[in-house]
C-alpha cells in the first residue's frame, strides 16, 4: 500500500512540472543530411526485395552477458518468432518490399538482468562476397509500430575473411539507426572501416523490449532496395585535420578567450577572419606552422578579436561555417543540455519520447517497496543510475548557485532549478530512511505499468556509504539553493542530508576496494581515492549549511588521504612528471579511468576545503596539491598540441598483470603504444580501454579539475585549457565535426535506441582503433563511444559553471577607471557613482592593465567570476612578485609594491622554509617599496609552492612556485 501511495504522490507532483515539447534539430546542419547528398560514383543492387531467396528471419532469446552493462543474444534453438514475407502495402521501388513482423516481447518473464527478451531480425545470406570495391550500404526502411514514439534498429555485418566479424569487442561492423515511424527512411552506412572481403551475411534486428501502454504488441518493418555504393569517404581516423576542412569551435568563442582553429593541408600563407554580416575582413594574419608529438599542423590564432559578431575563417579556398564571438556564447549549449535532461526524464510524459512510464519499476527493502521511476534515464538504454542522477543534480544546483549570485539571467536560473528539483525529488523519494536506498538498476524494457506481473524491473536497496555521501552532498547543496524560494523543501533536504551523512559514516569502516571494471581501472574501483573526496565535498557542503564542527572535522581529517596519494617527488624517468594521483596513499597504482572518469573529485574536494577553511593550518598543503595537479595537466596537454585535448594518464608497463587474463595482451599493447617517459612508464593520450570506449568522460572531469584549480589560483591558463576540452567536443577536432546532437555543424547521429534523437545529447566520446593511440571516429553508431550517456552532458554543465560568461568587476574609485586588454589593446572606461564611489562593469576574461588617477595595476579576470577592486587613492596599492635562486641554493622571493598607508604581507609556503612569514610595509606615495623573503627548499626533489597574501585578504593573493631542478 505504501508504494501505491508513493506512486500516486509522485504522479501528482509530476503534474506540477511544465510539459514542453523537446527541441528539434536542424537536419540540414547534420552529418546525416550531408551523407544523403553525397555524390555516388558507383553502385550495385544487393537485393530489390522481390524475392525471399537468401533471406531468413530469426528471433534470439538466449542471453549471454558479455560485460557489466551490455548483453548480446544467441539464436534460440526452439524456433523462429519473427516472420518475413513479401508485401505490396508499403513499397519504395518495384512491386514488393520485404516485411518483417514480430511481437515486441516473448512469452514468459523478462530476464532478471533488466534487459529485454532478445532480438528479432532479418538476415540476408551472401556466399563470401568481396565488397571492398564499395564503401557504403544503402537501404530503405518503413517502420509501422502503432503507438510508438521512438524506434531503432541495429545492423551487423558478418565477414569470414582475413579479419572476422563480429569483432572481439563487438562494435566493429555494427551500427544502430534511429528511425521515423510511418514513413520511408533512407539509411546509408559507410563501411570503409569494416572488413568486407568475404561477406557471409548482413543482419538487421530489433530489440524485443516490450511495449508501453498505448503501444502495439505486434510491430512491422518494411525493407526495400538494398544497395552497395561507392562515395567519397568521411575521415574517420588520425590526428590530421580532414583535408578541405578547418577544425574550429562550432559553438563559437567567448569574447576574451583564446581563439584558434587548426588545419593540416592548408597551403595558404595567410588566413582571414571575415564578418559574416557585412563581408568585411576584420583580421588578416599569417598561418602558423605547429609541430608537436602528434604531427604537423597549421594554426590560425585570432585571439585579439574582441568584437562580438558572427564570423567565418578563410584560408585559401577553405572556409568554415559561420560561428559566433560573444560573451555568453556557450549559454545556448546549456539550454540544449537542459533539453537533453528533460527528454531523458523517467516517469513523466515527454512529447515525442515516451508517455508517463515505468510506474511498475520497484525497489525492494525487506517487506517494503518503492516505485522508483523518476530521475533521468542513464544512457542509450532506459537504466537508472543513482550516481548519475546525483551528479546531474549537483551540476545543475552548482550552476544555479552561480546564476543566483550573478543575478543576470533569471530565465535560465528558473529552468536550471526546475530540472535540478526533478533530480532532487527522485533522490529524496528513493530513500528508505535507514541508510538503504535505491542505487539504480539496468533496464532496457518498455513496461505496462502494472505492478506484479512478469515485465517489472526489480532492484534491491543497498546501504552504500558512497551513495549516502553523494546524497548528503546533493541535499545540502539543495538547501543552499532553495532555502529562500522553497524553505519547506530546503529544510527537508537538509534534514535528510544530515541523516544520510550519518549513515555514510556508519558504513565507512566496511568499505574495501573491489574488483570492478566499472569505476575505471580494471581491478579497482578507486574507492580509496573517490570515497574520501566525496566525503569531503559532502561534509563541506553540510558545514556551510550548519557550521557543525563534525562536518569540518571529518573533511579536514580525510584530506591527507588525497594529498598523500599524490606524486610529489621527482621520479627517476627521462621525462619526469609530478602532481598526478595514485589510487591510494600506498602509491601502488596510478589513478586513471577508461571512458567514465571522476578525476575531478580530488581537486574539487581540496578546493572546497581551501574555500571553506582559509585559516586552517593545512590550507597551504591543500593549495599546493591543487597547484601541482593543475600544472601536471597543463604539462600533459602539450603532447596533444595544437588541440590540447587532455591526455588520459600515465601507465606502467606491468599494469597488465592486474587485469583479467583475457584482456592482458590488449592492455599491455595499448600501454606500449603510448609515449615513453622512461623506467617503464608511458603517457597515453587516449585511455587504455576494452569494450567501453570514448574519452569525453575522461577529458571533461580533468577539465573540471582544471577549472576548479583555476578559480582557486586565479589562473587563466587553467581555465583556457579547460575550455579547450569543450572545443574538442564541439568541432575543434580532426574530423571538424560537432558531437553534440543538434549543435553546430555536421553533428553526427548517436546511439540512442530507447529514446531516439535528443538535442543536447553527447556521446561517451571519441575512441581509438584497437591498440592505437590516435582518434578514431567511424561513421557507425554503436555503444559505448557514440552512445548517449548522462555523464558527458553532466560534466559539460558542471564545467560551464566555472568557465562560461563575462567577469563581473565592481569596486570603489575616486575617478574614472580604465581597463586595457593586454592582448587586443582595447580599452573600456567606467565612471563611479558620484556619491557612493561604486562602479560595476562586465568584462571579457583576460589580462588587463587598470588605471585611475595615475594609479595602475595589473589584474587577471577569469570567465564567469566576480571581483571587487579598490581604486580610491587613499587605499589602493598594487604589487608583483618574482623569484630567483641564490648561490647557496636558497630561493629569493622579491615583492615590489606601491601605494599609500601601512600594509601587511604574509607568505604561506609548502616545501619552503623561511625565517619569518610576515612583513609590515609603510608606503611612501609614488615610491615603490621592495622587500624579499629568503627560503630553503625543505625536500630537494619535490616542487615548492608559495602564496603571498596582502592585508590578510586571501582574495589579494599571488602565487609563485618552483623546483630545485
510 pLDDT band (50/70/90 cuts)? confident
* Average pLDDT, integer, range 799-804: 96
Which of 746, 777, 803 represents a domain boundary (last residue)? Answer: 803
Are 420 and 307 part of one and the same domain?
no
DSSP annotation string for 894-932:
EEEEEESEEEEEEEEEESEEES--EEEEEEPTT--EEEE
Residue 771 lies in a domain: yes
Residue 537 lies in a domain: yes
We report the CATH number of the domain holding residue 319 as 2.60.40.10
483 pLDDT band (50/70/90 cuts)? very high
Q: Which three cell numbers stand for residue 582?
A: 595514485
Strand 252-253 and strand 151-160: pairing? Answer: unpaired
Are 548 and 598 part of one and the same domain?
yes
Checking if the pLDDT of 637 tops 50, the result is yes
Mean pLDDT of the chain: 93
Residue 451 lies in a domain: no
Q: pLDDT per residue over 427-438, tens digit each?
A: 999 999 999 999
- Half-sphere exposure at residue 589, Cβ-oriented, CA atoms within 13 angstroms: 21
Beta bridge partner(s), residue 810: 840, 868
Residue 564 lies in a domain: yes
Number of domains, the chain: 5
Are 836 and 721 part of one and the same domain?
no
Q: Which three cell numbers stand for residue 492?
A: 527537508
* Average pLDDT, integer, range 20-35: 97
Q: Out of 53-62, 249-258, 274-283, 570-579, pick the least confident.
A: 53-62
Give, in degrees to the nearest 5, the angle at Cα 236 between 234 and 240.
100
Q: pLDDT per residue over 735-765, tens digit each?
A: 999 999 999 999 999 999 999 999 999 999 9
Dihedral (C-alpha) 513, 517, 523, 526: value to the nearest 10 degrees?
Answer: -40
Contact between 412 and 334 under an 8 Å Cβ cutoff? The reply is: yes
Residue 158 lies in a domain: yes
Beta bridge partner(s), residue 904: 920
Are 317 and 338 part of one and the same domain?
no
Q: Cα separation of 846 and 827, whole Å?
A: 12
Are 692 and 823 part of one and the same domain?
no
Tell me whether the omega of the peptide bond preceding residue 634 falls within 30 degrees of 0, making it cis: no
We report the CATH number of the domain holding residue 843 as 2.60.40.1120
Residue 621 lies in a domain: yes
pLDDT of residue 41: 98
Q: Cα separation of 201 and 112, whole Å?
A: 31
Closest among 627, 593, 596 to 610, alpha carbons compared? 627
**What region does 100 belong to: left with phi over 0, alpha with psi -120 to 50, or beta?**
beta
DSSP annotation string for 345-377:
BSSS-BTTTB-S--TT-EEEETTEEEE---SB-
Contact between 444 and 111 under an 8 Å Cβ cutoff? The reply is: no
Checking if the pLDDT of 520 tops 60, the result is no
* Average pLDDT, integer, range 134-162: 97
pTM of the model: 0.94
Share of the chain above pLDDT 70, in %: 94
Are 745 and 812 part of one and the same domain?
no
Highest mean pLDDT among 77-91, 368-382, 891-905: 368-382
Residue 440 lies in a domain: yes
Are 783 and 837 part of one and the same domain?
no
Q: What sign does the dihedral 888-890-891-893 (CA atoms) show? A: negative
Checking if the pLDDT of 13 tops 60, the result is no
Q: Which three cell numbers stand for residue 887?
A: 648561490
Which of 768, 803, 838 represents a domain boundary (last residue)? Answer: 803
pLDDT of residue 2: 46
Max CA pair span of the chain: 98
Rg of the chain over all Cα atoms, to the nearest angstrom? 29
Q: Cα separation of 29 and 26, whole Å?
A: 6
pLDDT of residue 350: 97
pLDDT of residue 80: 62
Are 341 and 307 part of one and the same domain?
no
Q: Cα separation of 899 and 876, whole Å?
A: 6
Checking if the pLDDT of 526 tops 80, the result is no
Are 291 and 426 part of one and the same domain?
no
pLDDT of residue 889: 85
Contact between 738 and 633 under an 8 Å Cβ cutoff? The reply is: no
Are 681 and 734 part of one and the same domain?
yes
Checking if the pLDDT of 522 tops 80, the result is no
pLDDT of residue 565: 95
Share of the chain above pLDDT 90, in %: 87
Strand 458-460 and strand 362-365: pairing? Answer: parallel
Which of 231, 265, 287 represents a domain boundary (last residue)? Answer: 231
Q: pLDDT per residue over 587-603, tens digit each?
A: 999 999 988 899 999 99
Q: pLDDT per residue over 540-552, tens digit each?
A: 999 999 999 999 9
We report the CATH number of the domain holding residue 136 as 2.60.120.260
We report the CATH number of the domain holding residue 483 as 1.50.10.10
Q: Cα separation of 880 and 888, whole Å?
A: 24
Q: pLDDT per residue over 624-634, tens digit each?
A: 999 999 999 99
Q: Cα separation of 582 and 625, whole Å?
A: 13
Q: Out of 409-413, 427-431, 575-579, 901-905, pick the least confident.
A: 901-905
Structural domain boundaries enclosing 818? 806-868
* Average pLDDT, integer, range 106-119: 93
Contact between 224 and 208 under an 8 Å Cβ cutoff? The reply is: no
Looking at 521-643, which runs of residues are DSSP E strands?
none
Amino acid at each position: 500500500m505504501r508504494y501505491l501511495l508513493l506512486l500516486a504522490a509522485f504522479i501528482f507532483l509530476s503534474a506540477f512540472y511544465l510539459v514542453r515539447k523537446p527541441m528539434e534539430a536542424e537536419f540540414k546542419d547534420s552529418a546525416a543530411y550531408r551523407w544523403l547528398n553525397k555524390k555516388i560514383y558507383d553502385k550495385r543492387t544487393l537485393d530489390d526485395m522481390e524475392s525471399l531467396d537468401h533471406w531468413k528471419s530469426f528471433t534470439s532469446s538466449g542471453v549471454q552477458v558479455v560485460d557489466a552493462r551490455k548483453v548480446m543474444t544467441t539464436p534460440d534453438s526452439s524456433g523462429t518468432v519473427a516472420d518475413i514475407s513479401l508485401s505490396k502495402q508499403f513499397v519504395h521501388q518495384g512491386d514488393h518490399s520485404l516485411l518483417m513482423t514480430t511481437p515486441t516481447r516473448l512469452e514468459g518473464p523478462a530476464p532478471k538482468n533488466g534487459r529485454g527478451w532478445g532480438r528479432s531480425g532479418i538476415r540476408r545470406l551472401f556466399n563470401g562476397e568481396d565488397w571492398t570495391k564499395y564503401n557504403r550500404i544503402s537501404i530503405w526502411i518503413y517502420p509501422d509500430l502503432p503507438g510508438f514514439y521512438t524506434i531503432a534498429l541495429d545492423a551487423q555485418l558478418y565477414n569470414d575473411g582475413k579479419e572476422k566479424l563480429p569483432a572481439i569487442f563487438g562494435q566493429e561492423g555494427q551500427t544502430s539507426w534511429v528511425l521515423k515511424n510511418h514513413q520511408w527512411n533512407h539509411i546509408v552506412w559507410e563501411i570503409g572501416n569494416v572488413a568486407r572481403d568475404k561477406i557471409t551475411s548482413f543482419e538487421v534486428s530489433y530489440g524485443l523490449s516490450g511495449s508501453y501502454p498505448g503501444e502495439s504488441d505486434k510491430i512491422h518493418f518494411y525493407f526495400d532496395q538494398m544497395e552497395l555504393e561507392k562515395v567519397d569517404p568521411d575521415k574517420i581516423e588520425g590526428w590530421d585535420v580532414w583535408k578541405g576542412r578547418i577544425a574550429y569551435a562550432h559553438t563559437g568563442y567567448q569574447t576574451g578567450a583564446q581563439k584558434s582553429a587548426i588545419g593540416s593541408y592548408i597551403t595558404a600563407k595567410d588566413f582571414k577572419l571575415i564578418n559574416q554580416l557585412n563581408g568585411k575582413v576584420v583580421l588578416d594574419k599569417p598561418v602558423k606552422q605547429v609541430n608537436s608529438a602528434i604531427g604537423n599542423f597549421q594554426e590560425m590564432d585570432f585571439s585579439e578579436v574582441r568584437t562580438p559578431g558572427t564570423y567565418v575563417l578563410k584560408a585559401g579556398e577553405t572556409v568554415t561555417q559561420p560561428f559566433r564571438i560573444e560573451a555568453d556564447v556557450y549559454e545556448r549549449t546549456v539550454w540544449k543540455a537542459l533539453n537533453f535532461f528533460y527528454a531523458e526524464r523517467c516517469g513523466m510524459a515527454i512529447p515525442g519520447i515516451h508517455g508517463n512510464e515505468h510506474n511498475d519499476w520497484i525497489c525492494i527493502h525487506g517487506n517494503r517497496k518503492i516505485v522508483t521511476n523518476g530521475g533521468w534515464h542513464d544512457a542509450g538504454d532506459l537504466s537508472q543510475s543513482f550516481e548519475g542522477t546525483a551528479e546531474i543534480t549537483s551540476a545543475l544546483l552548482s550552476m544555479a548557485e552561480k546564476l543566483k549570485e550573478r543575478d543576470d539571467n533569471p530565465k535560465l536560473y528558473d529552468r536550471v532549478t526546475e530540472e535540478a528539483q526533478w533530480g532532487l525529488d527522485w533522490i529524496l523519494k528513493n530513500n528508505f530512511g535507514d541508510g538503504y536506498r535505491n542505487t539504480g538498476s539496468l533496464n532496457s524494457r518498455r513496461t505496462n505499468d502494472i505492478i506484479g506481473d512478469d515485465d517489472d524491473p526489480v532492484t534491491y536497496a543497498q546501504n552504500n556509504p558512497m551513495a549516502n555521501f553523494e546524497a548528503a552532498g546533493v541535499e545540502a547543496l539543495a538547501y543552499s539553493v532553495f532555502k529562500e524560494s522553497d524553505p519547506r523543501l530546503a529544510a527537508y533536504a537538509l534534514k535528510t542530508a544530515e541523516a544520510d551523512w550519518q549513515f555514510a559514516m556508519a558504513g565507512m569502516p566496511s568499505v574495501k576496494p573491489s574488483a570492478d571494471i566499472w569505476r575505471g581501472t580494471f581491478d579497482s574501483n578507486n574507492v580509496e581515492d573517490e570515497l574520501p573526496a566525496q566525503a569531503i565535498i559532502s561534509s563541506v557542503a553540510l558545514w556551510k549549511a550548519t557550521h557543525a564542527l563534525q562536518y569540518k572535522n571529518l573533511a579536514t581529517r580525510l584530506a591527507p588521504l588525497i594529498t598523500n596519494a599524490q606524486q610529489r617527488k621527482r621520479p627517476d624517468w627521462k621525462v619526469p612528471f609530478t602532481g598526478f594521483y595514485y589510487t591510494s596513499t600506498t602509491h601502488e597504482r596510478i589513478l586513471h579511468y577508461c571512458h567514465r572518469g571522476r578525476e575531478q573529485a580530488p581537486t574539487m574536494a581540496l578546493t572546497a576545503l581551501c574555500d571553506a577553511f582559509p585559516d586552517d593550518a593545512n590550507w597551504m598543503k591543500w593549495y599546493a596539491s591543487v597547484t601541482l595537479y593543475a600544472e601536471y595537466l597543463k604539462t600533459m596537454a602539450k603532447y596533444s598540441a595544437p588541440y590540447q585535448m587532455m591526455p588520459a594518464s600515465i601507465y606502467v608497463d606491468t599494469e597488465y598483470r592486474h587485469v583479467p587474463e583475457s584482456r592482458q595482451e590488449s592492455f599491455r599493447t595499448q600501454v606500449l603504444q603510448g609515449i615513453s617517459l622512461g623506467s617503464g612508464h608511458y603517457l597515453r593520450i587516449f585511455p587504455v580501454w576494452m569494450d567501453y570506449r570514448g574519452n569525453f568522460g575522461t577529458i571533461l572531469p580533468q577539465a573540471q579539475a582544471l577549472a576548479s584549480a583555476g578559480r582557486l589560483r586565479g589562473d587563466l591558463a587553467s581555465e583556457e585549457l579547460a575550455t579547450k576540452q569543450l572545443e574538442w567536443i564541439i568541432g575543434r577536432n580532426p574530423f571538424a565535426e560537432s558531437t553534440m546532437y543538434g549543435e553546430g555543424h555536421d553533428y553526427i547521429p548517436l546511439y540512442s535506441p530507447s529514446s531516439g534523437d535528443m538535442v543536447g545529447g553527447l556521446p561517451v566520446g571519441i575512441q581509438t582503433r584497437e591498440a592505437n593511440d590516435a582518434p578514431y571516429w567511424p561513421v557507425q553508431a554503436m555503444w559505448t563511444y557514440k552512445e548517449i550517456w548522462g555523464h558527458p552532458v553532466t560534466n559539460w554543465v558542471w564545467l560551464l559553471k566555472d568557465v562560461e560568461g563575462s567577469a563581473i568587476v565592481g569596486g570603489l574609485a575616486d575617478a574614472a577607471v580604465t581597463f586595457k586588454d593586454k592582448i587586443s589593446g582595447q580599452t573600456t572606461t567606467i565612471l563611479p557613482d558620484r556619491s557612493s564611489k561604486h562602479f560595476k562593469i562586465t568584462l571579457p576574461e583576460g589580462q588587463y592593465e587598470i588605471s585611475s588617477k595615475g594609479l595602475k595595476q595589473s589584474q587577471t579576470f577569469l570567465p564567469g567570476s566576480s571581483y571587487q577592486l579598490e581604486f580610491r587613492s587613499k587605499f589602493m596599492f598594487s604589487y608583483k612578485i618574482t623569484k630567483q635562486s641564490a648561490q647557496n641554493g636558497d630561493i629569493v622571493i622579491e615583492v615590489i609594491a606601491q601605494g599609500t598607508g601601512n600594509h601587511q604581507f604574509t607568505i604561506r609556503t609548502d616545501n619552503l622554509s623561511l625565517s619569518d612569514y610576515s612583513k609590515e610595509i609603510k608606503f611612501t606615495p609614488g615610491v615603490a617599496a621592495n622587500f624579499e623573503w629568503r627560503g630553503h627548499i625543505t625536500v630537494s626533489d619535490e616542487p615548492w609552492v608559495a602564496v603571498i597574501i596582502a592585508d590578510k585578504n586571501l582574495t589579494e593573493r599571488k602565487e609563485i612556485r618552483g623546483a630545485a631542478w
